[in-house]
Amino acid sequence: MLAKAVPRPCSGAGRHGAPAARLWSVGVAGGPRRGGAGGRLVAADAGERMTGSEAVPVVAVAAGKQPVNGSAMAGIDKLVTSTVGKSTNVLWHDCPIGQFERQELLNQKGCVVWITGLSGSGKSTLACALSRELHSRGHLTYILDGDNLRHGLNRDLCFEAKDRAENIRRVGEVAKLFADAGLICIASLISPYRSERSACRKLLHNSTFIEVFLNVPLEVCEARDPKGLYKLARAGKIKGVYWN
Question: Catalytic positions, please?
Answer: 191
Nearest 5 degrees, angle CA 175-CA 181-CA 186?
35
- Which of 223, 185, 179 is CA-nearest to residue 204? 179
Query: Could you say which DSSP state residue 159 is in?
Result: S
CA dist 202 and 132 (Å) reads 27
CA dist 60 and 73 (Å) reads 16
Give Cα 231 to chain centroid, integer Å: 37
Burial (CB < 10 A; 0-12, 13-18, 19+), residue 217, is: exposed
Q: What is the dihedral of CA 193, 197, 198, 201, to 10 degrees?
A: 180
